[in-house]
Amino acid sequence: MSHQQSAEPAIYGLMAEFDHADDLVAAAKAAKDGGYDAVEGYSPMPIHGLSDVLGQKNQVAMFTLGGAITGLLVGFGLEYWVNMIEYPMNIAGKPDFSWPAFVVPAYETTILFGALTAALGMLVMNGLPSPYHPVFNVPAFENASRNRFFLVIESKDPRFDLEKTKSFLQGLHPLSLAEVPH
């Protein structure tokens, strides 16, 4: 494979480590202003505004709405089909299409489908589960889930140049700077 993609850089990217969330946000801003696009921040807790700085998109809400509407239609459709077409039952002389009584199960399926799309949609759009990822190759990265903040400029960025990007990241005064192997 490698002979076909000889242009592909040997590493995944460059990783700079910070000990303060504000430093990561400032560094992300600087990287974006410096013209880099393939930039990702890593943090032990959510940092508000960071993904806006990085220009990332989030479609979880739309998917969830779609899931919830599907759940409503499935639930109500099921009740309609069962009670009107497949198995009409005369219960206390009530009409077959007793829609007020059908509200409750349809309400629950709306919630069920909505919740499952929110959770699964989030995971799938995040590309999880993914047991392997190059960032885990950097030993210092184990603190990304504790108290350290990381900025990675990926080698797929057209402006990525090992030496130039390295000196750019050095200019942001990180605690450490590492090459991320594939």
Partner 1 sequence: MSNKTTDSEPAALIGPGHSLASVTDKIADMVLTKRTPLGWWFALMVTGTFVGILGFTIVNVFFRGIGLWGPNNPVGWGFDIINFVWWIGIGHAGTLISAILLLLRQGWRTSINRAAEAMTIFAVMCAGMYPLMHTGRPWLAFWMLPLPNSMGMWQNFRSPLIWDVFAVSTYATVSLVFWYVGLIPDLATLRDRAKNIWVKRAYGSLALGWRGAASHWDRYEMASLLLAGISTPLVVSVHTVVSFDFAAGIIPGWHTTIFPPYFVAGAIFAGFAMVLTLMLPIRAWYRLEDFITERHLQNMGKVMLATGLIVAYGYAIEAFTAWYSGSPYESYMITNRLSGPYKYEYWALMLCNILIPQILWSKKARSNVWILFGVSMAINVGMWLERFVIIVMSLHRDFLPSSWGMYHPTRYDWGMFLGTIGFFTFAFTLFIRFLPAIAMFEMRGLVPRGPARPGKSAH
In the complex, the residues that contact partner 1 under the rule CB under 8 A are: 18-23, 28, 40-48, 50-51, 54, 56, 58, 60-61, 64, 68, 78-79, 82-83, 86-87, 89, 91, 94, 98, 101-102, 104-105, 107-109, 111-112, 114-116, 118-119, 121-123, 125-126, 128-133, 135-136, 141-147, 149
Burial of 180 (0-12, 13-18, 19+ CB in 10 A): buried
The CB-of-131 to partner 1 minimum distance in angstroms stands at 5
Give whichever of 33 and 163 is closer to partner 1, judged by the CB atom: 33
Count, residues in the chain: 182
* 71 phi/psi in degrees, rounded to 5: -60, -40
The CB-of-157 to partner 1 minimum distance in angstroms stands at 15
Give whichever of 28 and 178 is closer to partner 1, judged by the CB atom: 28
Retrieve residue 17's tokens.
């480590």
Helix (H) or strand (E) holding 150: strand 149-154
Question: Cα–Cα distance between 63 and 50 in angstroms, integer?
Answer: 22
Give whichever of 10 and 61 is closer to partner 1, judged by the CB atom: 61
The CB-of-141 to partner 1 minimum distance in angstroms stands at 8
Question: In this structure, are residues 38 and 154 in contact, taking their beta carbons and an 8 Å threshold?
Answer: yes
The CB-of-163 to partner 1 minimum distance in angstroms stands at 26
Question: Cα–Cα distance between 23 and 150 in angstroms, integer?
Answer: 10
